[in-house]
């Protein structure tokens, strides 16, 4: 009875770990969760106050489908000031989360028979969204030695007459990899030469470390703005995951098609959340800089801890709040009578033995790795790493 397209979508490889962790917590077990992809910091006070005021002011009805004009103006002001990108309000769509924005962009741009390049490791939903659109994901492996960045020559080599676009996520989930302007220019040149549409997932753009400056691929060449849809939202940099506000900015033709899709699926994003987001975007208190400093400190703590564990190798990520250590040298070892054959096996072992939840690399198309989130307190990070170290020491 199910459609062929839906039957082609596989379950998340993380479900086994998530289910086990939930069972343990239900039994009262103390699980250190280093798997979660959301900040542990609170929503900004200005956003909470604006949300409460929106309720008191009865701003609780449907809004226009693309979002309230005030929020679209705030988004336009933000990307102009920070990224040098100029969009009219008609070129901005507010959606119920960045994931919805991504889905609408993928569905608007790609269809049956199209091929879409996705650098690997990749966020788990990219290939499934492409498949739901009827298109084919084409994975291009990136190298740990090159900090998991897409090489222009590797991109060019993956192209065929059916290639329609590229999905580029940076800073990356799961690796934290980011690109400087020169690197993006070289990727952009390939996209322009081969007439590729680009979906730029920039949800972690404000979480970038060591004094680096973020550059949007839409800004590196005049032609790129005409072929790029920029995706961002309030979840990560503004600690508003539950408010469900994402946005897309791009050429009017594409945004209009995305609006039509939204109008027949989710309709407008939550009105209260939109008014809260306006306040967050216009906040000039310096909160973002403080958050970046805190996450950079946690990153350094996590990398030092993981690097101290024999058999694990970990590069310092340039952004986001994940590390992606290589655990391939641990595979093949035994925990009692059980052989650790994969990073998924290792993740299950760490949960059962150490009571630490991490995400196996198979979820991101990268066996031999695990993803560890440092969007947790320093104390919990230290506790989790200590538990991992003890559990790894037991492997033979």
What's the pLDDT tens digit per position in 71-115? 999 999 999 999 999 999 999 999 999 999 999 999 999 999 999
Kindly state the average pLDDT of the residues 304-326.
Answer: 97
Q: Give the pLDDT score at 389.
A: 98
The architecture of the domain spanning 45-282 is 3-Layer(aba) Sandwich (3.40)
Would you say residue 230 has pLDDT above 80? yes
Q: Give the pLDDT score at 5.
A: 85
- Count of C-beta atoms within a 10 Å radius of residue 43: 18
Would you say residue 288 has pLDDT above 70? yes
Give burial (CB, 10 Å; 0-12/13-18/19+) of 231: buried
Tell me: the pLDDT tens digits for 248-264? 999 999 999 999 999 99
**By C-alpha distance, which of 344, 341, 301, 340 is closest to 323?**
301
Q: Give the pLDDT score at 229.
A: 98
14 vs 157 pLDDT, higher one: 157
Place 13 in a pLDDT band, splitting at 50, 70 and 90: low
Element containing residue 125 per DSSP (H, E): helix 125-132
> What's the Cα-to-Cα distance from 367 to each of 86, 130, 326, 370, rounded to whole Å?
40, 21, 9, 8
CATH for 4-42+287-393, among 3.90.1150.10, 3.40.50.2020, 3.40.50.300, 1.10.510.10?
A: 3.90.1150.10
Would you say residue 272 has pLDDT above 80? yes
Q: Give the pLDDT score at 284.
A: 84
Q: What percent of the chain lies above the pLDDT cut of 90?
A: 92
**Which residues belong to CATH 3.90.1150.10 in the chain?**
4-42+287-393
Q: Is 167 in contact with 228 (CB distance < 8 Å)? A: no
175 vs 1 pLDDT, higher one: 175
Q: How far apart are CA 89 and CA 56, in angstroms?
A: 27
Among 53-57, 129-133, 139-143, 287-291, the minimum mean pLDDT is found in: 287-291
Would you say residue 281 has pLDDT above 90? yes
Tell me: the pLDDT tens digits for 43-52? 999 999 999 9
Q: Give the pLDDT score at 8.
A: 81
Kindly state the average pLDDT of the residues 119-135.
Answer: 97
| Cα 262 from chain centroid (whole Å) | 21
- Write out the two tokens for 315: 């590069």
Q: Give the pLDDT score at 4.
A: 84
DSSP label at 230? E
Would you say residue 16 has pLDDT above 90? no
136-141 and 115-120 strand pairing: parallel
**By C-alpha distance, which of 314, 375, 387 is closest to 350?**
387
Mean pLDDT across the chain: 96
The structure's pTM equals 0.96
**Which residues belong to CATH 3.40.640.10 in the chain?**
45-282
DSSP label at 112? T
Q: Give the pLDDT score at 17.
A: 78
Kindly state the average pLDDT of the residues 173-196.
Answer: 98
Q: Give the pLDDT score at 6.
A: 86
Kindly state the average pLDDT of the residues 300-309.
Answer: 98
**259-288 core/surface letters (b: 16 or more CB in 10 A; e: else):** bebbeeebebbbbbbbbbbbbbbebeeebb
Using the structure block, give the residue that is written with the tokens 């991109």. 155
Q: Give the pLDDT score at 355.
A: 97
Would you say residue 213 has pLDDT above 80? yes
Place 285 in a pLDDT band, splitting at 50, 70 and 90: confident
Q: How far apart are CA 127 and CA 132, in angstroms?
A: 9
């Amino acid at each position: 009875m199910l459609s062929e397209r839906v039957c082609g979508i596989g379950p998340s490889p993380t479900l086994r770990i998530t289910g086990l962790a939930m069972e343990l917590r239900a039994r009262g077990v103390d699980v250190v969760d280093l798997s979660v992809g959301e900040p542990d910091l609170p929503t900004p006070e200005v956003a909470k106050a604006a949300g409460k005021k929106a309720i008191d002011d009865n701003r609780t009805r449907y809004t226009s489908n693309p979002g309230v004009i005030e929020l679209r103006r705030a988004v336009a002001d933000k990307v102009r000031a920070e990224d040098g990108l100029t969009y009219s309000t008609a070129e901005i769509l507010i959606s119920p989360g960045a994931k919805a924005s991504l889905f609408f962009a993928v569905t608007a741009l790609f269809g049956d028979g199209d091929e879409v390049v996705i650098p690997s490791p990749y966020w788990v939903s990219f290939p499934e969204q492409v498949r739901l659109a009827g298109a084919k994901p084409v994975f291009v492996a990136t190298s740990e030695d090159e900090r998991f960045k897409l090489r222009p020559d590797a991109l060019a080599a993956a192209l065929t007459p059916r290639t329609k676009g590229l999905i580029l996520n940076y800073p990356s989930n799961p690796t934290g990899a980011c690109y400087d302007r020169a690197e993006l220019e070289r990727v952009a040149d390939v996209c322009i030469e081969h007439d590729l549409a680009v979906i730029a997932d920039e949800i972690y753009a404000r979480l970038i470390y060591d004094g680096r400056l973020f550059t949007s691929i839409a800004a590196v060449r005049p032609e790129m703005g005409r072929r790029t849809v920029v995706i961002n939202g309030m979840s990560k940099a503004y600690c508003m995951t539950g408010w469900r506000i994402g946005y897309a900015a791009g050429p009017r033709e594409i945004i209009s098609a995305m609006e039509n899709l939204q109008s027949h699926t989710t309709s407008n994003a939550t009105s209260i959340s939109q008014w809260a987001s306006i306040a967050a975007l216009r906040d000039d208190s310096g909160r973002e800089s403080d958050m970046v400093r805190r996450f950079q400190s946690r990153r350094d703590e996590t990398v030092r801890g993981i690097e101290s564990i024999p058999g694990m190798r970990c590069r310092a990520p340039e952004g986001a709040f994940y590390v992606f250590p290589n655990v391939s040298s641990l595979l093949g070892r035994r925990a009692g009578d059980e052989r650790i054959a994969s990073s998924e096996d290792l993740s299950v072992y760490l949960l059962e033995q150490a009571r630490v939840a991490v995400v196996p690399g198979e979820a991101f198309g990268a066996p031999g790795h695990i993803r560890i989130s440092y969007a947790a307190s320093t104390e919990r990070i230290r506790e989790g790493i200590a538990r991992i170290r003890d559990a790894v020491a037991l492997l033979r």
